[in-house]
Structure 1
């Protein structure tokens, strides 16, 4: 019996393309989410948008955007490459992946993307957003900001918050891929042989996967943002200390701060990423038949 396996380079290309498009389209929601998670006075997403538009204009909503676009393209490429590899190893003889095995493959993919792409790009993005909110910003863009961070803090400066990022990305990918794969296999099981899944259905499945991911991993995202802020070293000894201070000083609900903008982003991004990935793979013929 034969099953389909994604070609490694095509998984990387399709994932990177999907990641870059998704990051640019949804970036304003990421900006608002990150701003809302910093310490200090709590502001609503609407208040943050109004304040940013008033002081910085529309371009202000894209502070740190290039760091995320580049990082997200790399992240998505690594994520799909890793997941497709782990998924093929764990698939049954019919090419199906059970929910527990998909969870394991997603966890592995999340760990890989956290180490090779997410932590550096999100640390830089977070610091750029934090800096842009100051009266006298010190960074003049992605290149200058990155060079300044490395000069001031060393290479470890762009790897702040590695542990919470690994935990968040591992959980993100595990939940997202398991939800997506389970729903996709269910839809394919009800379809006629050889019938492809409509784009609208793919988008919907990806959106649901994003929804589930947000609510299950939000606390890790808040801790990650705090650990990557400019003042992190002054306030937190490590991720556990950060979580303890948030819980004892601000309450448990603070762990879900920024849920609305992140929900908007991940629901939309889930639909965009999986739809574009499947389309690119289909166009470039990225799946081959392998004997099982």
Structure 2
């Protein structure tokens, strides 16, 4: 009777494969933070016009303007093309910070939830994404979204704010630090839901793609397409949370109950999905951009 002996080459190959899997499933925290921040900053800069249109649509219409196109035309006519970039700097900084925090939190939690093969189940991915969303909401999203939304809302009326720093100064002077955290509850709910759906669906789609074609996405077009699909799912699953969040963070601010009631009064059930078109345009691009840039930076390191 002969005893099968594994060849040295097979043993080395197996060890290399195991090492690669372990290395890939344990991403250094600083790498996650840096890659996420760069990806978020790039995405926010490219897609901001969509964000401006979405936020303008969700805020109460003024002067009889109800459509996104009408609102954008009016802004460009009166303020020039730069008008649709109102609040952009706040969002870019905030998105870079929140994306860095999101990927850092997600990768840290993911490392503790993956199985022995380095794979993350759909339910674990949703849980990791939800926790990451709550963390990013408190540390980054709420104050920067509050400033961006207040700037856009102010631009439609009194125009008290001359710049982002000026807006921050007025909000703090009038409402204290708490003024920058107006809408914390609605923002945290929205971010937890968005991050859970986005990160969970992205990881699930990656796993399904790998099982179908025989390998994980390797090229930028592959990653971009999967990220865009995750963005599509995210928009329609979480849009009501985003609409309510926007109303609570207007220049004057509304309570959660008042925001919900206002959305219902203005548009009924469909009102909760107001702004989904521009947000879809942004998330289709942002999902592809963020995950593509993030994966490329990880592969570089």
Given the two structures, how large is their TM-score scaled by the length of structure 1? 0.91
* Aligned mates of 1:16, 1:215 — CA distance in 2: 25
Q: Which runs of 5+ in 1 are unaligned?
A: 286-292
Cα shift readout 1:199-236 (whole Å, capped 9, x = no counterpart)? 1010000000000000011111111011011233xxx4
1:15-36 CA distance string (max 9 Å, x none): 0000001001000110111111
> 3-state SS of the aligned residue for 2:161?
coil
Corresponding residue for residue 20 of structure 1: 41
Which residue of structure 1 aligns with residue 73 of structure 2? Answer: 50
The match for 2:238 is 217
Rounded Cα–Cα distance in structure 2 between residues aligned with 1:42 and 1:268: 27
Whole-angstrom CA distance in 2 between matches of 1:170 and 1:240: 19
- Within 5 A, what are the aligned runs for 1:113-152? 113-134=136-157, 136-152=158-174
Q: Distance in 1 between matches of 2:85 and 2:115?
A: 44
- Aligned equivalent of 1:83: 106
2:87 pairs with 1:70: no
**Which stretch of structure 1 is more off in the superposition, 146-155 or 102-111?**
146-155
1:272 to 266, 286, 289: 289
**Structure 1 residues 263, 151: closer, same or farther in 2, change over 3 A?**
same
Question: Which structure: larger Rg?
Answer: 2
Match of 1:188 in 2: 210
The reply to whether residue 242 of structure 1 matches residue 295 of structure 2 is: no
Cα distance in 1 between the residues matched to 2:130 and 2:219: 28
Distance 1:71 1:196 in 2: 29
Tell me if the contact between 2:206 and 2:217 (Cα under 8 Å) persists in the aligned partners: no
Higher relative contact order (CA 8 A, sep 6+): 1
Residues 188 and 197, structure 1, Cα contact 8 Å, conserved in 2:
no
Say which SS state the counterpart of residue 117 (structure 2) adopts: coil
Of 167, 170, 177, the residue aligned with 2:199 is: 177
- Cα distance in 2, alignment partners of residues 191 and 258 from structure 1: 36
- Check conservation: 1:19, 1:273, Cα contact below 8 A: yes
- The answer to whether structure 1 residue 60 and structure 2 residue 77 are counterparts is no
| TM-fit CA distance, 1:144 | 1.2
Q: Which residue of 2 aligns with 1:197?
A: 218
RMSD in angstroms over aligned alpha carbons? 1.5
Matches of 2:195 and 2:266, distance apart in 1: 30
Q: TM-score when scaled to structure 2?
A: 0.89
Measure, in 2, the Cα distance between the counterparts of 1:256 and 1:186: 29
Q: Residues 152, 247 of structure 1: CA spacing in aligned structure 2 closer, same or farther, 3 A cutoff?
A: same
Superposed, 1:31-42 pairs within 5 Å as 31-40=52-61, 41=64
In the alignment, structure 2 segments of 5+ residues that lack a partner are 1-17
1:167, distance to aligned residue in structure 2 (A): 0.6
Q: Deviations over 1:77-124 (max 9, x none)?
A: 000000001111111111110100000000000001000000000000
Matches of 1:165 and 1:280, distance apart in 2: 29
Q: CA deviation at 1:243?
A: 1.1
Aligned to 1:288: none
